């Protein structure tokens, strides 16, 4: 049996859902106006939030006039490197106060400050040779779009228009804002096999949305014994746009490597949004851990303005990999149909994973380029979801990345180091232009 066939047999897919979701994602990637409208809708939904939780913050748009519009935490500035008196003076004079700090990274806030104030103070800091940028929003690796109340988008319907039968079979969301989003499915992966030792002794960290143990852990065994760092509540059966993203990803790792020890670190809220600072906090916790993960899954990307390089994320990844050089970080390549690498997939030492179609060509929605390391089929992937039947079909590079993580976990469980597992996986998979090695 070939390696690709073995992986394919472990991952269940819903072809009909995959075709619809892939088409929606591809259309979204080509429609800049719809994308901007979706961003505006997300901004509006977060009005009134306060900034105590680095994930749950109000957000604004940053348009530099060159490249994509960015999403930023309102009134927040990140400064990297050594702290200086000049930095403190500039920020204090502009009304920004220090909220929190990590090793070599500080988060400043001026509550409610408009984008112009953020841009102006970053300009002053840059002139003073400080390394400063907005606190960019981190997005779960799916593309969002706005929909009118009651409108169906990829099988997700507002609860107010569902019939009782649809409530039983479907996934009920607070909003209908998810192009290519999770779709009800009658397909169901087999229960986790306790006699399958693939991934034994391998620690996998999934940085994503949280998992509610009362909802999903007991459904099918795929999430049994998954640990969650400080799990916030998931508010009942009416889920936010991406509330099941972390459960879906973690269960995919377990489908390929059933014995892996999976830890979920919540860095995204239920709408699939977090911040660069929240992600950096989690990476620093992993770097400081006496027993680090063998593998880190990042099915997310930074919504930077003009494809800018964020200031905190590269340094947080550097810190993790410098302290634990055998840890392998895997990130989704993104769903914009672009050849530009998003962060964190753009990091030189991060394994970037794209999606391919049935012919091994880049999926129409997937980012692609020579910077991609691996790819896997990711249309209509079926995994755990905390609503409906307990499973859903979902499409995107978010769900290619955990297939690679699971494959690496199997090899590390057999005694290989992370770098050795990467080399072996490359040797067993097929290289293709712009999509790396195809599982």
Are 272 and 139 contacting, i.e. CB atoms less than 8 angstroms apart? yes
Window from 65-69, 134-138, 160-164, 338-342 with minimum mean pLDDT:
160-164
Residue 217 CA from chain centroid, whole number? 21
Residue 223, SS3?
Answer: coil
Distances 334 to 139, 338, 367, 414, 434 between C-alpha atoms, Å: 10, 8, 5, 30, 14
Q: Closest Cα to residue 104, out of 295, 317, 290, 265?
A: 317
Are 396 and 242 contacting, i.e. CB atoms less than 8 angstroms apart? no
d(CA 341, CA 101): 28
Q: At what angle do helices 3-10 and 245-256 cross, to 10 degrees?
A: 130
Residue 312 CA from chain centroid, whole number? 17
Tokens of 324: 């634990």
Looking at mean pLDDT, say which of 24-28, 165-169, 283-287 comes out highest: 283-287
Distances 329 to 292, 295, 318, 373 between C-alpha atoms, Å: 12, 6, 11, 12
The CA-CA-CA angle for residues 409, 254, 29, to 5°, reads 95
Are 368 and 354 contacting, i.e. CB atoms less than 8 angstroms apart? yes
Phi, psi values for residue 125, rounded to 5°: -65, -40
Percentage of residues in the chain having pLDDT higher than 70:
79
Task: Tell me what the mean pLDDT of segment 54-79 comes to.
Answer: 85
pLDDT digits (tens, 9 = 90+) for 252-277: 999 999 999 999 999 998 888 899 99
Distances 337 to 348, 370, 413, 427 between C-alpha atoms, Å: 21, 14, 34, 27
Q: What is the mean pLDDT of the chain?
A: 84
CATH class of 46-137: alpha beta
Sequence-ordered list of residues with C-beta below 8 angstroms from that of 98, at least 6 positions apart, any chain: 88, 91, 106, 107, 108
pTM summary value: 0.88
d(CA 277, CA 312): 7
**Which pLDDT band holds residue 379 (cuts at 50, 70, 90)?**
very high
| pLDDT value of position 69 | 82
Measured torsion, CA atoms of residues 392, 338, 204, 329, in degrees rounded to the nearest 10: 180
Distances 253 to 353, 396, 400, 409 between C-alpha atoms, Å: 14, 15, 10, 8
Task: Tell me what the mean pLDDT of segment 419-425 comes to.
Answer: 97
The CA-CA-CA angle for residues 313, 133, 117, to 5°, reads 150
Phi, psi values for residue 96, rounded to 5°: -100, 130
pLDDT digits (tens, 9 = 90+) for 178-203: 556 788 898 888 778 778 999 999 99
Place of tokens 């619809």: 20
Place of tokens 């897919």: 13
Tokens of 309: 């390089």
| pLDDT value of position 90 | 98
Are 71 and 308 contacting, i.e. CB atoms less than 8 angstroms apart? no
| pLDDT value of position 229 | 86
Q: Is the pLDDT of residue 352 over 50?
A: yes
Q: Closest Cα to residue 429, out of 419, 416, 439, 418?
A: 439
Q: Strands of 8-130 (E only): list them.
A: 59-62, 70-80, 97-102, 105-109
Place of tokens 């709408």: 271
Q: Strands of 231-357 (E only): list them.
A: 261-268, 273-275, 295-298, 300-302, 328-332, 351-356
Task: Tell me what the mean pLDDT of segment 389-404 comes to.
Answer: 94
| pLDDT value of position 81 | 96
Sequence-ordered list of residues with C-beta below 8 angstroms from that of 6, at least 6 positions apart, any chain: none
| pLDDT value of position 63 | 85
Q: Is the pLDDT of residue 158 over 80?
A: no
**Domain range list for the chain:** 3-28+169-438, 46-137
Instruction: Give the burial string for 18-48 (b: 16+ CB within 10 Å, else e).
Output: bebbbbbbbbbbeeeebbeebbeebbebbee
| pLDDT value of position 171 | 38
Domain 3-28+169-438 has CATH 3.40.50.200: yes
Window from 8-12, 234-238, 378-382, 403-407 with minimum mean pLDDT:
234-238
Tokens of 251: 């269960």
- Annotated catalytic residues are 208, 245, 398
Q: SS3 for 254-281, per residue?
A: HHHCCCCEEEEEEEECCCCEEEHHHHHH
| pLDDT value of position 27 | 81
Place of tokens 């769900």: 399
Q: Is the pLDDT of residue 44 over 70?
A: no
């Amino acid at each position: 049996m070939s390696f690709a066939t073995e992986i394919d047999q472990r991952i269940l897919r819903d072809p009909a859902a995959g075709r619809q979701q892939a088409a929606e994602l591809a259309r979204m990637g080509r429609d800049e106006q719809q994308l901007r409208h979706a961003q505006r809708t997300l901004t509006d939904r977060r009005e009134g939030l306060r900034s105590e939780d680095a994930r749950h913050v109000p957000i604004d748009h940053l348009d530099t006039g060159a490249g994509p519009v960015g999403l930023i935490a309102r009134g927040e500035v990140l400064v990297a490197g050594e702290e200086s008196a000049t930095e403190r003076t500039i920020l204090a004079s502009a009304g920004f106060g220090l909220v929190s700090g990590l090793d070599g990274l500080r988060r400043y806030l001026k509550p409610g400050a408009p984008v112009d104030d953020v841009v102006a103070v970053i300009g002053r800091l840059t002139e003073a040779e400080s390394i400063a940028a907005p606190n960019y929003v981190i997005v779960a690796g799916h593309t969002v779009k706005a929909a009118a109340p009651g409108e169906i988008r990829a099988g997700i319907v507002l609860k107010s228009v569902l019939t009782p039968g649809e409530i039983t079979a479907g996934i009920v969301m607070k909003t209908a804002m998810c192009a290519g989003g999770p779709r009800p499915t009658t397909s169901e992966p087999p229960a986790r096999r306790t006699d399958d030792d693939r991934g034994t002794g391998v620690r996998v960290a999934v940085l994503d949305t949280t998992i509610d143990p009362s909802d999903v852990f007991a459904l099918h065994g795929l999430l049994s014994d998954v640990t969650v760092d400080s799990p916030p509540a998931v508010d009942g059966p009416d889920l936010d746009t991406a509330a099941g993203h972390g459960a879906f990803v973690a269960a995919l790792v377990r489908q390929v490597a059933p014995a892996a020890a999976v830890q979920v670190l919540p860095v995204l809220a239920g709408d699939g949004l977090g911040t660069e600072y929240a992600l950096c906090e989690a990476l620093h916790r992993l770097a400081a851990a006496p027993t680090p993960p063998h593998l880190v899954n990042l099915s997310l990307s930074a919504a930077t303005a003009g494809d800018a390089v964020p200031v905190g994320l590269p340094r947080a990844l550097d810190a993790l990999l410098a302290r634990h050089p055998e840890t392998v970080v895997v990130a989704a390549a993104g769903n914009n149909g672009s050849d530009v690498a998003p962060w964190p997939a753009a990091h030189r030492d991060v394994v970037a994973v794209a999606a391919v179609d049935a012919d091994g060509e880049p999926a129409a929605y997937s980012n692609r380029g020579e910077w991609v390391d691996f790819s896997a089929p990711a249309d209509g992937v079926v995994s755990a979801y905390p609503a409906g039947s307990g499973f859903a079909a979902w499409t995107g590079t978010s769900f290619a990345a955990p297939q690679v993580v699971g494959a690496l976990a199997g090899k590390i469980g057999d005694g290989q180091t992370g770098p050795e597992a990467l080399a072996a996986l490359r040797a067993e998979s097929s290289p293709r232009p712009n999509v790396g090695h195809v599982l």
